[in-house]
Chains A and B, each alone.
Chain A
Amino acid sequence: MAAPAAADTLAEVPPRGPGAPLSATSERSGYVHLGRIPESTPGRRPVDPGEAINSKTPLGQLVGTITPADLHYERSHAGVPDIDPALHRLLVHGMATRERVFTMDDIRAMPTTSRIAFLECTGNGWENWKTAPPDVTVQNTHGLVSTSEWTGVPLAYVLDLVGADPAATWMLAEGGDGAAVARSIPLTDEIIAEGMLAHGQNGEPLRPAHGFPLRLFLPGLEGNLNIKWLRRLKFGDRPFMTRWETARYTQLQADGSARQFQLRQEVNSVITAPSGMMQIRPGFNRVTGLAWSGHGRITRVEVSTDGARTWRDAAIAGPALPKAQARFQADWVWDGTPARLVSRATDEKGNLQPDRARFIAQTGTNALFHYNAQQTWAVDAEGRVRNVLA
């Protein structure tokens, strides 16, 4: 790496002067390098973007809690379709008295709600199920979670609009992508009250990678349920048993059986700095990271610098919104000896993020999805930070 530019005295700070012309969209500073990384299944890095199945958020470089839309993680099953909103239709049918077809103009004219919430791929954390690759960053290990302000039509409004049959307990949601991804959504009170047909993200229309022009958004539930490019909702009284809720997104247990419809994202946290592949210096370091839970608000985050032997409370910076990422931080003076940084979060329902040994004892190592064990970063005597299992 080139030596950073120095401005040792104020006299060396460049003089001021007129800047670049104003533009229609503002770009990031040329000194800031932020990007997602397209990846394939665990253990395959780096991959040709043409073979990527997901693209991960640079958690280690972001601040606060909101993810810029272009850096929001993505998992797509058949690429990103290019949809003309004028030709997009939403069909709502099945167990309902008024089966209807809606245009995007119809949908944008309906009442909306907005909410800041996280979205997380069910596979987030899958790097560390069996082994811990030492050369990965927090973007590799945890980059399949992001937080946005989502804007859309409340699901309850649509249920009323079409006269969904009270006996309808499940809803099939289907996308307009090449894979026609489809999932059965259980119509619990929580999902009816909190779900939305989202068309906005962080103040602008959805971007194509995130479902333009319309997606389902279900706060706290696994990413795959939040169907992108939404074009069909069908009401029924039992699950539809699509490929994505049988062959995929089910949790193989050690005995060979599989948990099905494990839909909630569990309490989780990760230290984003110092984190994998970073370099620290002895003395003061600020430990910071993100915590989130599909059960609600984060109420406590603890950090350990001695490999989970002793813990202290981190400060939660800013509001900890329900089912949104919360930013935490703690001061740390590093004495230059090997250390192990760990965080663990607790949510408002009292769920405590498990340590890896307890998590694996309960789940085995074959489940592939819903990994929420505590993340450990090892710091060696040279200040190199590396991914380790515990």
Chain B
Amino acid sequence: MSWPRPGVLGLLAALAGGLAATAAEFGRPASQDEIALWDIDIPPDGTGLPPGSGSVARGLQVFEETCAACHGDRGQGGIADRLVGGQGSLGSAQPVKTVGSFWPYATSLFDYVRRAMPYPAPQTLSDDDTYAVVAYILSLNGIVPGDATLSRSTLPSIRMPNRDGFVPDKEFSVIHNARQSPPRTP
């Protein structure tokens, strides 16, 4: 397969048939402000977590108002996934995979709740309420105490019970590609 490669630093790249295009013709630069609007992923080290904080007590209110209709009282499950319990069941014939038994990172819970929940209106909870409902779900699972308050300084250091339960496939555990040592051509 071959296709024209855009020139580095916006230099002209020759296209087959005598056409020419510059890299700069496609798209426009992204400003840091607009990147911040969309840059919502939270990796395990917590990079990108917003300011703010939320307590388990506030989380209980948020959960009952916006989550319990689908996930059941105290996250026991309903028309949508159960969010508590199952610890110790993963090696059994009937494994119960929940936030408490299976999820390896508390940051992924913050990320997921913020991007996708509540299901009918994602990205409508405030950052404070997102911290709070995450704190509540973790407390239901015995992972944080009932008087905990979470913020960007405390969330990444939470150790989830199944933190070491995942084994990445060898093929994708260390990534190498030809770009890492690009052949220097003039």
Contacts and interface: CB of A to CB of B under 8 A. Distances in A.
B134 to A, nearest CB: 13
A256 interface: yes
A86 B140 CA distance: 45
A167 B180 contact: yes
Chain B facing A: main interface SS = loop
Interface stretch (A10-18, A141-149, A240-248, A285-293): A240-248
B182 interface: yes
B72 interface: no
B102 A247 contact: yes
Given A91-B38, A179-B115, A260-B169, A100 B44 contact: no
A188 B168 CA distance: 15
Interface in B74-108: 90-93, 95, 97, 99, 102-105, 107-108
Contacts of B3: 111, 113, 154, 156-157
Contacts, number: 179
Nearest to A96: B30
A164 interface: yes
A98 B23 contact: yes
Interface in B1-35: 1, 3-6, 8, 15, 23, 25-30, 34-35
A308 interface: no
A263 B6 CA distance: 30
A192 interface: yes
B41 A247 contact: no
Interface residues of B, number: 59
A188 B175 contact: yes
B126 interface: no
**How many of chain A's residues touch chain B, expressed as a range?**
35 or more
A273 to B, nearest CB: 35
Contacts of B111: 242-243
A340 B103 CA distance: 41
Given A160-B6, A263-B172, A241 B91 contact: no
B97 A101 contact: no
Nearest to A114: B1
Given A99-B30, A189-B178, A261-B173, A256 B90 contact: yes
Interface in A203-247: 231-232, 234, 236, 238-243, 246-247
A261 B172 contact: yes
Contacts of B23: 98, 160-161
Given A170-B175, A174-B41, A254 B91 contact: yes
A242 B113 CA distance: 11
B177 A238 contact: no
B119 A99 contact: no
Interface in A236-278: 236, 238-243, 246-247, 250, 252, 254-264
A91 B93 CA distance: 44
B177 A250 contact: no
A178 interface: yes
B27 A101 contact: yes
Given A100-B26, A232-B38, A260-B168, 11 more contacts: A100-B27, A102-B27, A161-B26, A164-B179, A189-B178, A192-B178, A239-B43, A243-B109, A252-B95, A257-B166, A261-B173
Interface of B: 1, 3-6, 8, 15, 23, 25-30, 34-35, 38-41, 43-44, 90-93, 95, 97, 99, 102-105, 107-109, 111-112, 115-116, 119, 122-123, 165-169, 171-173, 175-182
In the A-B complex, the 8 residue pairs with the smallest Cβ-Cβ separation, listed nearest first, are A256-B91, A256-B90, A169-B175, A102-B27, A100-B27, A243-B112, A180-B115, A261-B172
Interface of A: 77-78, 91-93, 98-103, 106-107, 109-111, 113, 154, 156-157, 159-161, 163-164, 166-167, 169-170, 172, 174, 178-180, 182, 186-189, 192-193, 231-232, 234, 236, 238-243, 246-247, 250, 252, 254-264, 365-366
